[in-house]
Every structure is written in structure tokens, then in C-alpha cells.
Amino acid sequence: EDQVTQSPEALRLQEGESSSLNCSYTVSGLRGLFWYRQDPGKGPEFLFTLYSAGEEKEKERLKATLTKKESFLHITAPKPEDSATYLCAVQPLTSGANSKLTFGKGITLSVRP
Amino acid sequence: DAGVIQSPRHEVTEMGQEVTLRCKPISGHNSLFWYRQTMMRGLELLIYFNNNVPIDDSGMPEDRFSAKMPNASFSTLKIQPSEPRDSAVYFCASSALAEQYFGPGTRLTVT
């Protein structure tokens, strides 16, 4: 069974204080690993897809990286507007491209001004 | 460009009543997913469709839950009869490739 574990559950940062969010996964062959951002009262918003170990993707202050067992979401010099819950999900190789994702429980990030 | 549309946004009902949640996927997307989100269990997949055909309903909690997709632009999730433990936020998502795009969700409260 595919499993995704995210840590820590919650993270409080001062504005400008860089940090990383961890996503550990167990899957029988990885088709893709996905990062989403979720704001309170809204649906998850797609951020990145990573497909192979060593791959990196960036968007503004966010950079996602992937190894064979985990993924990191690095946040550089965060701002209060980066406060949200960040969700990680995996899609197994055994399923098709348009198939289900298994999500972690998320990391709630708070950035204080 | 409209995203995934869900209705209603909020639903409060009494135990035993039938509840129907609705979803309109993004035009051109051929896969549709229904998820449920709670504090305890996080985001869980209930069922998904490819080209209007149900592919995996193993996440549907029990026979009280049913989902249909009569055409490419509409899907429903029905709960009959509803129970307090069904209280959660229900999300619909659609995809054309691997990335899924979520709607705003329906917050269901069963009293």
C-alpha cells in the first residue's frame, strides 16, 4: 500500500527564515510526486510534479527536490503570504497517468511578519 | 477560464437525509476524482472516473455512498442516508494528464 508521511505537522517561521518541508514516501515504483498548496477554506492548488530522483523544480520562493525515498519543499526567505498547508502526494508507476494520488496529511506553515 | 465548479458550497442536513453533491470538471479533462478531507484522516480518494467510466471505487466508505458521471461535464456524489460521521469537506478534482485540479469543495455538516 502506498504511504506518504509529511513532517513536521506544523511549522512556524519568522519572515525571511528559510526552511524545508519533508515528504517521505513508500510506493511500488513512482510515476510522479506532486506538491500542492491549500489555503483555509479552499481546494488544493497544484504547485509541482517531480518524476525522477535528482529532479528539481522552482517557483518563486519555493523549490521542490526528489530522492528515491523523499521529497523536500525548500522555502527561501518566506513571506506571510506563504502561510498555508502544503500537501505532498504520490502516484504509483503501476497506475496510468490519469489515476489516483495518495496524499500525506500536510504541513501547516505559518510565517510571522 | 473556469476551474472545477462544485455545488453547493455548504450543506447542512439532518441524519438520515439524502445529500447530493455536484461537480463540473474543467472542459477537456477526461478524468474526475472525488475526495473527502477531514482533520483526522486528511485527504482521501473516494472514487475516480476516466472518460465517464468508474475506474476505482475502493475508497467509497460503504453502500450509502454512490457516484455517477452521466457525461463529460457533470458528476454527482450521493449519500443516502447521511450520518454525522459523513461530516467533512468533499472535493472534486479533474485532470487531463497527471496533475489534478481541485474545486473549492463542499463543506457537509450532518447533525
pLDDT at A73: 97
Contact B98 A103 (CB under 8 A): no
Count of alpha carbons within 13 Å of B26, Cβ hemisphere only? Answer: 18
Match 526567505 to its residue by C-alpha cell. A77
Average pLDDT over residues A82-105: 89
Query: Is A84's pLDDT higher than 80?
Result: yes
CB-based contacts of A70: which residues, under 8 Å, 6+ apart? A22, A23, A24, A25
Mean residue pLDDT of chain A comes to 94
pLDDT at B51: 94
- Strand A84-92 to A30-38 pairing: antiparallel
Q: How far apart are CA B92 and CA A53, in angstroms?
A: 30
Collect all residues of chain B within an 8 Å Cβ-Cβ radius of residue A87.
43
Average pLDDT over residues A49-63: 96
Strand partners, A22: A7, A72
Alpha-carbon distances, residue A42 vs A19, A35, A112, B37 (angstroms): 24, 16, 21, 11
Collect all residues of chain A within an 8 Å Cβ-Cβ radius of residue B44.
103
CB-based contacts of A113: which residues, under 8 Å, 6+ apart? A15, A80
Put simply, whether B69 touches A (Cβ < 8 Å) is no
Collect all residues of chain B within an 8 Å Cβ-Cβ radius of residue A43.
4, 91, 93, 102-105
Q: How far is B38 from chain A (nearest CA, A)?
A: 10
Q: How far apart are CA A72 and CA B65, in angstroms?
A: 36
**Which cell goes with A57?**
523544480
pLDDT at A97: 67
Instruction: Look at B58 and B89; give whichever has higher pLDDT.
Output: B89
Omega before A40 within 30 of 0, i.e. cis: no
Assign residue A31 a region (left: φ > 0; alpha: ψ between -120 and 50; beta: otherwise): alpha
pLDDT at B1: 64
